[in-house]
Amino acid sequence: MEHIPTEAAPDEQIVCITENDTCAVDAVQSLLGCTLGKGNLIYKPMGKMAFNFYFRESGKALRLYFKAENTEDVPRDQWMDYILNAPSDELFSFSEPVYKLPERARIFRSVVCEKCGEKSREDKIRLEDGKMVCLSCFSEYDR
């Protein structure tokens, strides 16, 4: 938090693109108010302990990458204590984000899938055999 220049976001003032789906994302949601529902938490499945933050009002941006490693097989409780108390520079590297600032969240129309009958966001609909179908019903062509 010492590197974050603002309080939690009531709307989309802070945007976070997380590159992992660990419990650390729960902390981002709790501390900064970034959520999937508000559209200011975006998940890119890269498998890295990295978080890209964008602060719309100031135009600032920051990427945090968790670099600390438990190479000496320190017991879990001692490792946890280290993580909670170590200087942030020992735990993280700080750099510019690797992604550009995402546009603000859009509200999409719902379209009824012509196979299953369920509604899906219009940007997630595909055309298959002349029918509008959801991603669950769409037969991927990966040739």
pTM over 0.85: no
Instruction: Tell me what pLDDT residue 12 has.
Output: 87
In CATH, what number is assigned to the domain containing residue 112? 3.30.60.20
Tokens linked to 42: 């975006």
Same domain, residue pair 53 and 90: yes
SS3 15: strand
For the chain, state the CA radius of gyration.
20
Q: What's the whole-number average pLDDT of the chain?
A: 93
Q: What would the pLDDT profile of 48-65 be if each residue is shown by its tens digit?
A: 999 999 999 899 999 999
Q: Structural domain of residue 69, as residue ranges?
A: 14-95
Same domain, residue pair 85 and 115: no
Tokens linked to 81: 């204590």
Domain count for the chain, please give it. Answer: 2
